[in-house]
Amino acid sequence: MSSSQSGVPEESSAAARMRASDADRDQVADRLREALAEGRITPEEHAERIDAVYNAKTYAELEPVLRDLPSAQAPRPRVELRKDAEVQAPPPDAQSPNLVAIFSGVERRGRWLVESTTNVTCVFGGADLDFRQAVLSRGEVTVNVTCVFGGLNIVVPPGVRVVASNTAIFSGNDLPEDDTTDPDAPVIRITGTLLFGGVSVKRRAVGEKGRNRDWHRERQRLHRAHRDDVRDERRELREERRERQRERRERRRRD
């Protein structure tokens, strides 16, 4: 039976068979994020539908994901993130926005809901944040970093703008250049303080491999080496000070 005989317009059928783009999938994922924040779907349903979205190849496979949600529209090529709109808090069983690595490592990757502020604390440790499959709770989110002899490695997908507003003391930020001029592009803002630490941001597509753990091991080795150098220098200064004090006491006895 042809599409005209079945009552389905040929143009609609042809459109449904068209290949969906990454922007189309991101648009649907954004609508699912809103539905999760509004309490329309559970975290389990959200995770299941997100998997379906990023496995979809055509518009026909994307359409059922939004079918039972209000104001569901067919995906369009452009992502429309609402930067100023407030979103309800995530459900109580969501992952904590606070990550701590003390003489250890911590990571957040895969499908995860990014709240308006994520706090990262690294003390002689390292943290990995992979935003490539994350769902942002709003158009601009903040990563507040406190690193002392520690390092934070961030991976973002193409089309996401990263802005650093943090304080770096004997530290540094390694950020990629913007790859988009879209004023509505999602923004990840880095704030906080680095002391003998570092933040490295890399831009990679989903599935592209990187150097996360090796980078952190090397970073921590350099931090430990620098810490040992500082400790040795302070020890030498203390010894010189004691020697001068002994010489002064000896002169007083002679006088």
pLDDT score of 254 more than 70: yes
Alpha carbons 87 and 33: distance in angstroms, whole number: 10
The confidence score (pLDDT) of residue 117 equals 93
User: Average pLDDT for residues 18-41, to the nearest whole number?
Assistant: 80
Per the CB < 8 A criterion, the answer to whether 99 and 126 are in contact is no
Amino acid at 177: E
Residue 118: pLDDT band by 50, 70, 90 thresholds?
very high
pLDDT score of 56 more than 70: yes
Alpha carbons 7 and 4: distance in angstroms, whole number: 5
For residues 155 and 56, the model is more confident at: 155
Per the CB < 8 A criterion, the answer to whether 209 and 161 are in contact is no
- What do you get for the CA distance between the two ends of the chain, in Å? 117
Most confident of 191-200, 207-216, 219-228: 191-200
Q: For the whole prediction, is pTM greater than 0.85?
A: no
Q: To the nearest whole number, what is the mean pLDDT of the chain?
A: 78
pLDDT score of 5 more than 80: no
Alpha carbons 57 and 148: distance in angstroms, whole number: 45
| Model confidence pLDDT, tens digit, residues 74-85 | 444 333 333 334
CA distances from residue 31 to 65, 95, 188 in whole angstroms, order as listed: 10, 20, 19
pLDDT score of 226 more than 60: yes
The confidence score (pLDDT) of residue 214 equals 56
Residue 246: pLDDT band by 50, 70, 90 thresholds?
confident
The confidence score (pLDDT) of residue 78 equals 36
Beta-bridge mates of residue 99: 120
Residue by residue, DSSP assigns 1-37 as: --TTTTT--HHHHHHHTSBPPHHHHHHHHHHHHHHHH
For residues 225 and 29, the model is more confident at: 29
The confidence score (pLDDT) of residue 203 equals 92
User: Average pLDDT for residues 37-44, to the nearest whole number?
Assistant: 81
The confidence score (pLDDT) of residue 80 equals 36
Per the CB < 8 A criterion, the answer to whether 199 and 226 are in contact is no
Residue 65: pLDDT band by 50, 70, 90 thresholds?
confident
Per the CB < 8 A criterion, the answer to whether 216 and 105 are in contact is yes
